[in-house]
Structure 1
Amino acid sequence: MDIKTTVSRRLRSPRYRRLLCTWTALFVMCAGQQARADNVTLPDLLIGVTQGFLEFTVEDYLATTQTPGRYEIQVNQLDPRLRMPMCDQELTATLESPAQPVGRVTVRVRCDGASPWTVFVPAQVRLFREVVTVARPLKRTAIIGFDDVALRERDISQISQGYLTSLDQAVGQKLTRPVVTDQVVTLIHLEQAQVIRKGDQVVISANSGGLSVKMPGEALANGGISEQIRVKNLNSKRVIKARVTAPGQVEVAL
């Protein structure tokens, strides 16, 4: 089941329909109190509908994509002079743009009653996650260690170049540019560091359960942390594939 289908089903839930019914009832009540006027001004009610709709949409997005984090929603103020005919049906709200409810969004609030109308309401959805940041200034070409990075909460809607959610994704990588304290580490900052060069003498570790065997080997290719490279076992002369675990260290599963 895709995200769109899941969200659509949940927006038809009794809780969401009660919310829209409540705002529609307030809309009609306000309109009835202005019997002499042809139209009514209801920017606050439209903001309320938009706020409720976005809360449902963001919660469903987080649940469906299994994205951890917290969110904040700010609906922009509408023109207080905004006027429209009374709506005699439930108001409907849909996400106009973008495809995901993160960052700057636009919600379309629509009346399909006898005098139909549509209002587009802008808002900002800030989604906060724990991402990898720099713990101290680092120079270009530096190899990142565990003490160089930390997880801190940031608004990912403001990060356009990708981000990392685990320290392991950054440790052992080489920086392509200098960074400063608290800076978010993005994908453009990193380059896989070659910790083993072709021709290097390496130690091959073969592990299975509690059994561990070590043997000498020779790297037949360059490799970075967690990369698989071809290695020659100098005892058996066999060529195998092994995963780089540290400078001069590779591992193969038995």
Structure 2
Amino acid sequence: MKPWALITLFLISFSAKCETSLELIREVAESYTLENLNADPHAKVTLQTNALDSRRHFGDCDQPIQASSQSMKPGTRYTTVKVSCEGSSPWLVYVPIQIDIQYPVVIATTTLAANAVLDSSMLEVRYVSSSSLRGGHFSDIDSLAGARLKRRLAAGQVINQNNICIVCRGDPVVIQAVSKNLAIRTSGTALTGGALGESIRVQNTNSRRMVDAVVSAIGQVKVVM
């Protein structure tokens, strides 16, 4: 090999060793994104980073590499992270990242008719992209056991609060009347239906009195006195 070729090869090798790799820049951008997403700990997060221009070269940084973004918002699907070196040979690059967050949610395993009473054989938990979720969904099958569907659901469809009533109109309910020093339980009938935490109208079986109560569980409501 000619002497000038050896010198060129040495210079290329030396230059490569004194550069910050594109792979390291990508890792810094992705680590920053994961740390600042504030995603639910039960969620699955997938990042897809756009390929960086391989023609660009970034010198070895003699300071910690910095990362920042002005587009990190809850629920964001895209962000751009600025990765930079503020050392003696400064540089910066913007790294576009696509974000997919999947949550564990309860879905119907088969087509279900309106008024079906849910049980575990009809349901399963599956990870679903946040971009496909609408309204309040559930992650626990047991919390839906005994709930009734308001409308027909197709297999694979997510169960959300708009699909069900935890207490339905005409259902018998246990009314728990609570005050600071007293708790009384009695039976009643739901005059309207609702999901967990919603206010419904119920009638006390014994007194025939109608009151507003909050749905607290399957077949149970609470009245604060």
Please confirm whether the aligned pair reaches a TM-score higher than 0.5, indicating the same fold: yes
Pair 88,51 (structure 1): closer, same or farther in 2 beyond 3 Å: same
Paired amino acid for 1:105: T
Shift of 1:207: 8.1
Paired amino acid for 1:174: K
- Whether 1:34 aligns to 2:8 is no
Distance 1:34 1:72 in 2: 33
Aligned to 1:183: 157
TM-score computed with the length of structure 2 as normaliser: 0.63
Pair 97,34 (structure 1): closer, same or farther in 2 beyond 3 Å: same
TM-score computed with the length of structure 1 as normaliser: 0.57
Give aligned pairs, total.
203
Unmatched tracts of structure 1, length 5 or more: 1-29
Is the contact between residue 144 and residue 172 of structure 1 (CA under 8 Å) also seen in structure 2?
A: yes
Distance 2:60 2:173 in 1: 78
Q: Deviations over 1:202-253 (max 9, x none)?
A: 5655589xx98655x565x42235444344435435443445666xx66556
Pair 95,212 (structure 1): closer, same or farther in 2 beyond 3 Å: same
Aligned to 2:29: 50
Pair 116,142 (structure 1): closer, same or farther in 2 beyond 3 Å: farther
Paired amino acid for 1:223: G
Aligned to 1:11: none
Shift of 1:129: 3.2
Alignment of 1:37-186 (within 5 A): 42-58=21-37, 61-62=38-39, 67-84=41-58, 87-100=61-74, 103-114=77-88, 116-139=90-113, 141-143=114-116, 145-146=118-119, 147-152=121-126, 154-162=127-135, 163-167=137-141, 168=143, 171-175=147-151, 178-180=153-155, 182-185=156-159
Distance 1:85 1:204 in 2: 71
The secondary structure found in structure 2 opposite 1:46 is helix
The alignment yields a C-alpha RMSD, in angstroms, of: 4.3
The secondary structure found in structure 2 opposite 1:129 is strand
Aligned to 1:15: none
Aligned to 2:3: none
Distance 1:103 1:203 in 2: 43
Q: Deviations over 1:6-50 (max 9, x none)?
A: xxxxxxxxxxxxxxxxxxxxxxxx999229xxx968422312322
Distance 1:203 1:191 in 2: 16
